[in-house]
Amino acid sequence: MSGDLLVKDVRPMGGSVTDVRVRDGRIEALGQRLEAPGDAATVVEGRGELLLPGFVDAHAHLDKTLWGLPWRPHSGGPTLAELIRNERRHRRELPPVAQRAGNLLAAYVAAGVTHIRSHVDVDPEAGLASIEGVLEARERFRDRVTVEIVAFPQSGMLVEPGTRELLEAAVEAGAECVGGLDPAGVDGDPVEHLDAIFGIAARHGAGVDIHLHDCGELGAWEVRLIVERTRALGLAGRVMISHAFCLSIVADGVFDELARDLAEQRIAVATAASPRGEPLPLRRLRDAGVAVCLGQDGIRDLWSPYGTGDMLERAMLLAWRSSFRRDEDVELALETATIGGARALGLEGYGLDVGCHADLVVLPGEGLAEAVVSRPPRSLVVKRGRIVAGRRASTVA
Ligand SMILES: [Zn+2]
């Protein structure tokens, strides 16, 4: 039946060769010369290739993509405000969100991404149209990749009256998280901004995910406000700070204080390996116990022409941005695209242990660091025990 599978001769995380037996979409056994889970089960030869858990893109913008459309030269100005205006000027010319998001989801699946957190714009002009478009696309792809949605006030919340109510309506319509955007830099009132989005999250049992580009002491102060509200509302483990550029440049003593509080409240940090400023101090955050995850941010959209849906590519960019050369460092970048993402998003049953969901990627390569650098085509992609992509997918019955 669907969800039953035997993958033979693969090397989990580059370790020794084993078979993996999957029943009802979960890993049932790992070991040598395993029997198939039934006469009708699919059997795939792994040929000694690497086995990884499915990639997690923890910070995406599915509604913005131009994927699948003719190439469009970038037309935005350099500042955040100009990029926001440029998008609002041109987005009406684009095909429906559901179609464009679907195009990109197909690319994600082919690249072995099995879970995505996507921010999706809400504003008084477009209302919930983008949320509805992404909900439609995620339903169409539900057997191939799981998608969670953050209702995102891209144009600001306090400066765009009506957006606060739309964020609440988006959560009622199916978004799992409430988003925020530079409570100081865009909205000019961090306390009111954060009180509003944390209030919606607390009322609806939703998570919080805040784009925080604000730098230096201002950004650090906003992190403290986020910690304070997470603690007061009992939202530990449900809050994410995306980008968090301030963590890269604050003084050591401030960094240690913030990292300790983030770890205590299980507030995760998402990076997109942005080319801006200093890179996020990955190892210091990890050593402090802070979950760090990786996202591709916008892919080929009105903000940026870059991105492909491949998290190995983004892991390489993160390693490159971080000046990583040694295998153990490059592997840390890969960790943010896999286990780090699952930890940050609180994904149940993620990994390669017995009992985990069979969300798997098989790909050629000697080891993990080499896979990040080489980014080989995926041989097999499995979602909940079903083969959904890969060069070898067409050769198995
Ligand atoms: Zn973003």
Claim to verify: residue 168 and residue 214 sit in the same structural domain: yes
Work out the average pLDDT over 101-105: 98
Q: Phi and psi dihedrals of 273, rounded to 5? A: 55, 45
The domain that holds 369 is classified in CATH as 2.30.40.10
Asked, for residue 331, whether it belongs to a domain, the answer is: no
Same domain, 49 and 139: no
153 and 140 fall within a common domain: yes
233/195 same-domain check: yes
- In tens, the pLDDT along 321-338 reads 999 999 999 999 999 999
* Ligand 1 centroid from CA 183, angstroms: 15
Residue 89 is part of which domain span? 55-323
Q: What is the pLDDT of residues 195-230, one digit of tens each?
A: 999 999 999 999 999 999 999 899 999 999 999 999
**Cα 60 to middle of ligand 1, angstroms:** 6
User: Are 49 and 64 members of one domain?
Assistant: no
| DSSP codes joined into one string, 189-242 | -HHHHHHHHHHHHHHHT-EEEEE----HHHHHHHHHHHHHHHHHHT-TTSEEEE
Q: How many domains does the chain have?
A: 2
Return the residue matching tokens 């992509």: 389
Number of H helices, E strands in the chain: 12, 15
Q: What is the pLDDT of residue 140?
A: 98
Q: Which of 87-91, 214-218, 262-266, 276-280 has the highest mean pLDDT?
A: 262-266
Identify the CA nearest to 149 among candidates 127, 170, 169.
170
Same domain, 46 and 59: no
pTM over 0.75: yes
In DSSP terms, 396 is beta-bridged to: none
Q: Are residues 152 and 286 in the same domain?
A: yes
Whether residues 356 and 279 share a domain: the answer is: no
Distance 158 CA to ligand 1 centre (A): 19
**Ligand 1 center–CA 9 separation, angstroms:** 39
Task: Please give the distance, rounded to the nearest whole angstrom, from the Cα atom of residue 213 to the centre of ligand 1.
Answer: 10
Q: Which CATH number is 112's domain given?
A: 3.20.20.140
Cα–ligand 1 centroid distance for 243 (angstroms)? 8
152: confidence class by pLDDT, cuts 50, 70, 90: very high
Rounded distance, CA 117 to CA 344, Å? 11
The token pair at 88 is: 């609002």
In a domain, 339, yes or no: no
Going from the C-alpha of 78 to that of each of 15, 108, 255, 298, the distances in angstroms are: 45, 28, 29, 16
The answer to the question of residue 366 being in a domain is yes
Are 194 and 305 contained in the same domain? yes
Q: How far is the CA of 88 from the centre of ligand 1 (A)?
A: 16
Identify whether residues 383 and 293 lie together within a single domain.
no
Q: How far is the CA of 80 from the centre of ligand 1 (A)?
A: 12
* Same domain for 70 and 9: no
The H-or-E segment that residue 263 falls in is helix 252-264
Q: Is the pLDDT of residue 396 over 70?
A: no
CA distance 239 to 269: 9
